[in-house]
Amino acid sequence: MRSYSLIAPAKINLYLEIIGDRPDGYHELAMVLQSISLADKVDIRPIEIDTIFVQCNHAAVPNDQTNLAYRAAALMAQQFPEAMAQYGGVEITIDKQIPVAAGLAGGSTDAAAVLVGLDLLWKLGLTQGELEDLAAQIGSDIPFCIKGGTALATGRGEVLSPLVNLDNLSVVLAKYRSLAISTPWAYKTYRTQFGDTYVRKAEDLQSRRQRVHSGGIVSAIMQRDRAKIGQLLHNDLEKVALPEYPEVLQLREAFASQNVLGTMMSGSGPTVFALTESERQALEVAETVRNQLANPDLDFWTAQLSSTGITLA
Ligand code: ATP
């Protein structure tokens, strides 16, 4: 039986707005999610015994049942026990290129790759919708990671409306290697500080969602207006992360001082990205900011915005 190698891209948030509390305990969000060409490679190999093995070349990524890739495989085994009985277990090998705990959905995209890979390996023929429903059971960002591209994500992030492709833009990303921001901390702090602005009634949530749909950045994306997209980047979580982590603010200011289209923290951070007109400009900005901040703890990446989610390598 054959093995599959999958490319699992990272995502950035072009927009992240926290709208309110949901009865299920999650936050109600409006986000614009964007795949980028920075990606992990996930290999899925059938093995004879009925077990799931995960291995990863990055020390901070667990090889046990807490790995999101493992959880994706366990969910598939639970949903399709006949397939596992017929085809055996699976060995998942993650070549980690996406920085870990960085706000770039690295774990989520690996899990998405496992869902897509096992669908192929076990010849299940699942539809996009079926894969997204399975993905939503493991994590809010995972449905987006399957199809990728550019999408408006509402609900807790799992209700997706595709937007047009922006794949001719580039991005430069930077992260302090030793800095991690806990996603639960960021949302909890936001709730403590800004919870009085939350929409809580179901009918109010509905009308608020409509307003987000017609929001400025979505129109700018539909018109592929690069300058406007750059100006309208937004992330509510910056309101809690930047005061707490001045080095992230300093990095953001360093990017903003360059001639970039726009700059923003991604997700709950601490990665900061800047949109640029070309890959060459992204490389130049990385070089300039690296020299300007001269901090050996700071890592840089450049990438293209991408129109694809999980693909075969
Ligand atoms: P998000 O943007 O979805 O909040 P993130 O990019 O901030 O995610 P991840 O890279 O997914 O964060 O990692 C968060 C934590 O999840 C890590 O500290 C790690 O212990 C754990 N983890 C579990 N599975 C994986 C995986 N496959 N890749 C990376 N981290 C994983």
CA 14 to chain centre: 11
Same-domain pairing of 91 and 204: no
Same-domain pairing of 219 and 245: yes
Same-domain pairing of 188 and 149: no
How many whole angstroms separate alpha carbon 16 and alpha carbon 33? 9
Same-domain pairing of 29 and 106: yes
How many whole angstroms separate alpha carbon 238 and alpha carbon 244? 10
Same-domain pairing of 180 and 244: yes
Query: Which has the closest alpha carbon to 116: 190, 217, 9?
Result: 9
Active site residue 141: yes
3-state secondary structure of 11: strand
Give the nearest ligand 1 atom to 68 CA. 24
pLDDT tens track, the chain, 313 positions:
789 999 999 999 999 999 888 888 889 899 999 999 999 999 999 999 999 999 999 999 999 999 999 999 999 999 999 999 999 999 999 999 999 999 999 999 999 999 999 999 999 999 999 999 999 999 999 999 999 999 999 999 999 999 999 978 999 999 999 999 999 999 999 999 998 878 777 777 777 766 665 579 999 999 999 999 999 999 999 999 999 999 999 999 999 999 999 999 999 999 999 999 999 999 999 999 999 999 999 999 999 999 999 999 9
Domain span at 19: 4-164
- 201 located within any domain: yes
Q: How far is the CA of 148 from the centre of ligand 1 (A)?
A: 18
**Catalytic: which of 110, 119, 141, 236?**
141
Residues at the binding site are 99-109
Among protein residues, the one whose CA lies closest to atom 19 of ligand 1 = 61
The pTM assigned to this predicted structure is: 0.95
- 313 located within any domain: no
Query: Which has the closest alpha carbon to 233: 210, 249, 256, 254?
Result: 256
Tell me if 107 CB under 6 Å of ligand 1.
Answer: yes
